[in-house]
Amino acid sequence: MNSKTNPTQSLVKLNERNLSQLPDSVRVPRYDRSAVTPGIVHIGVGGFHRAHQALYMDNYLEQHPGSDWAICGVGLLEFDQKMRDALHSQDCLYTLVERSPAGDDARVIGSITQYLFAPDDREVAIATLADPQCRIVTLTITEGGYYVVEGTGEFDINHPTIQHDLQNPDQPYGVYGFLTAALDRRRQQGIAPFTVLSCDNIQGNGDMVGRMLTSFAKLQNSDLGNWIEENVAFPNCMVDRITPATTPGDLEMVADQFELDDAWPVVAEPFTQWVVEDRFCNDRPDLESVGVQMTDDVHPYEMMKIRLLNTSHLLLGYLGSLKGYTYAHEAMADDQIRQAIARLMDEVTPTLHPVPGIDVSEYKQTLVERFSNPKIRDQLARLCLNSSAKLPKWALESVRDQLERDGAIDYLSLTIAAWFRYLNGKDDQGQEMPVDDPMASTLTERAQSGGKDPMPLLNLTEIFGDLPQSSRFVEAVTNYLHQLYESGTRKTLDQLLAVDP
C-alpha cells in the first residue's frame, strides 16, 4: 500500500523506537512490550482481528503488565506475505483509528508481539503452536475457511487442501493440518492441549470448528482424533465491529491527521462487542476485566448478531450495488434501502431467542445508525464478498425457521433474489459489478444463463441444500428475481414497500 502525502510534512515511521516521537493525539501502548509473552496464537491476522481481539488484549496488557497473554500472529496464505512485510517493518505495531461523525481517535496497538508467515517455515509455525506457552489459538479465517460443504454442513474431505494435508502431515497448508500437527506433538509429549476459539461470523462457530477439526484428525489418526474430541475445548463466541478494508485513502488520513507513516493501519467504527462461552481447557486471561462478556450460552447473542446485522449487510450490499452506490452510508441514505433493511430485521426478529440484557428493538435501531456512519466508508463490494459462504450461514437458517413456523419470507427471499441479480455482473445502469467469490465462475455462468429463472442457482445443493423443495420459497425468490430483471431495483422496492408488513 502506498500513500500520497504532503511532501513537506514530516512523518514518523511507526516502530518501537519511534513511539516517543508520536504526537500527543496518538495513544501508544502503556506497558513494556519486551516484558510480555504470547500465550495466544492467532491464525488469520487481518483488519478485523487487529480492530477487535488485538484491541481487547492490548487493553488487557495495560491492566496486567508483564502478562503472558500477548499474541503471536500466523499467516497461512500466500496473500499473507503483505501482512508479514507490513508488521515486520514496524515491530508488529500498527495504528487503529476509530472513526465517527464526532471525530477520529488514533491508537497504536502493541498486543501482537510476533508474526509468523507459515509458508516461510511451516515447522516453526507448528512448533510455536505446540509450545506449552501457547494455551489459546484464535481464528479469523473467514466463513469460507472452515472446509464445510455449505448445503449439508459436512466436512469437505475432497478439498485439495484437505487432501494435501492428510498426505503431508509435516508440511501442511491449511488450518486443520497445522492444528492437528501441533496437537499431536503436544499429546505425544504430555503437554495439555490449547483451546481453539473461532472468532468468525458463524453460528455455533466453536461447535462447528470442533466437528471439522476432529473429523480431519480422525482421518489422519483415529487415536489422535479421539484425544482431540475428549480434551480440546472449542468455545462458541460472538464478535461484532464494522471494520472496512484498509484503503490508500486511510493511509493518507493517518499520515495527514496523525503524522504517522504506517504500512497498514486499520479503521473501525467505535462500537465493539465480544461475547464468549466460558469453556476453556488450558487457562485463559481475565477477559471480563476488559469488557468481554463471558457466558454459558452464546447462542442467543450470535443468532441476534448474524441474523440481524450480517444478513442485513448482505441485502444492503446487493441493493446498494444494483442501484449504483459504492459505500454503505450512501446506500443507507436511500430511503427505499433503509426501509427494506428495517423490514428485513423485523421479518427475522421472530426467529430469535431472548437475549439476556439486550433490548432487540434498540439493537436494531443501533444497527441502522452504525450502517449509516459516513466516516467508515464501508465499501458495498466488501459486504458482497464471498457470498456463497456467507449466505448459507447468515440468511438461509432464518428462511428455514420462517418456513417451519409459516412466517414471512418476503425480505429474506428478496435478499436471495437480489444476490442472483447481482451475480449477473451489471447494475441497473448497465455498469460492471465485479463478483469476488470462490465460486464466481459457476455462479456468474448460472446467473447469466438462467436470467429470470432462479433454478440454475437454487439447484446448487452445496449452498441451498433441500430448500428448493419448498414451493413457497421458490415462488417468492422467482417473483422477486423476475421483478428485479423486468422493472429494476427501484420499482421492485416501490411495489414491495407499498405492502404493509
Give the C-alpha separation, 411 to 132, whole Å: 50
CA nearest to 237, candidates 304, 286, 294: 294
Total Cβ atoms within 10 A of residue 153: 13
User: Which residue type, as a one-letter code, is found at position 133?
Assistant: Q
Total Cβ atoms within 10 A of residue 359: 10
Do residues 312 and 345 touch, judged by C-beta distance below 8 A? yes
For the segment 171-226, what is each residue's pLDDT rounded down to a tens digit? 999 999 999 999 999 999 999 999 999 999 999 999 999 999 999 999 999 999 99
Which residues 6+ apart lie within 8 Å of 56 measured at CB? 274, 287, 290, 291, 292
Output the pLDDT for position 143: 87
CA nearest to 32, candidates 66, 68, 70: 66
Name the CA dihedral angle for 425, 426, 431, 436, rounded to a multiple of 10 degrees: -30
Do residues 371 and 341 touch, judged by C-beta distance below 8 A? yes
Residue 239: strand, helix, or coil = strand
DSSP label at residue 238: E
The x, y and z cell numbers of residue 475, run together, are 415462488
Output the pLDDT for position 150: 76
CA distances from 265 to 46, 234, 250, 321 (A): 11, 31, 7, 26
Give the C-alpha separation, 489 to 322, whole Å: 7
Residue 148: strand, helix, or coil = strand
Total Cβ atoms within 10 A of residue 37: 14
Tell me the backbone φ, ψ of residue 198, rounded to 5 degrees. -75, 135
CA nearest to 149, candidates 462, 409, 482, 492: 462
Give the C-alpha separation, 272 to 292, whole Å: 10
pLDDT surpassing 60 at residue 428: yes
Output the pLDDT for position 372: 97
> How distant is the alpha carbon of residue 466 from its chain centre?
26
pTM (2 d.p.): 0.92
pLDDT band with cut points at 50, 70 and 90 for residue 9: low
> How distant is the alpha carbon of residue 191 from its chain centre?
31
The x, y and z cell numbers of residue 134, run together, are 501457547
> What value does the mean pLDDT take over residues 278-284?
97
pLDDT surpassing 60 at residue 8: no
> What value does the mean pLDDT take over residues 12-28?
97
Output the pLDDT for position 83: 98
Residue 424: strand, helix, or coil = coil
For the segment 345-354, what is each residue's pLDDT rounded down to a tens digit? 999 999 999 9
For the segment 405-415, what is each residue's pLDDT rounded down to a tens digit? 999 999 999 99
pLDDT surpassing 50 at residue 265: yes
* Arithmetic mean of pLDDT over the chain: 96
Beta bridge partners of 212: none
pLDDT band with cut points at 50, 70 and 90 for residue 149: confident
User: Which residue type, as a one-letter code, is found at position 206?
Assistant: G
pLDDT band with cut points at 50, 70 and 90 for residue 3: very low
Give the C-alpha separation, 28 to 386, whole Å: 35
CA nearest to 398, candidates 461, 304, 332, 499: 304
For the segment 40-97, what is each residue's pLDDT rounded down to a tens digit? 999 999 999 999 999 999 999 999 999 999 999 999 999 999 999 999 999 999 999 9
Give the C-alpha separation, 304 to 315, whole Å: 16
The x, y and z cell numbers of residue 374, run together, are 459516513
Give the C-alpha separation, 210 to 213, whole Å: 5
Do residues 201 and 394 touch, judged by C-beta distance below 8 A? yes
Do residues 268 and 251 touch, judged by C-beta distance below 8 A? no
pLDDT surpassing 60 at residue 421: yes
C-alpha count within 13 angstroms, C-beta hemisphere, residue 307: 27
Output the pLDDT for position 389: 92
> What value does the mean pLDDT take over residues 158-176?
97
For the segment 72-86, what is each residue's pLDDT rounded down to a tens digit? 999 999 999 999 999
Higher pLDDT, 142 or 4: 142
CA nearest to 52, candidates 280, 291, 215: 291
Taken in order 420, 426, 427, 432, the sign of the CA dihedral is positive
Higher pLDDT, 153 or 308: 308
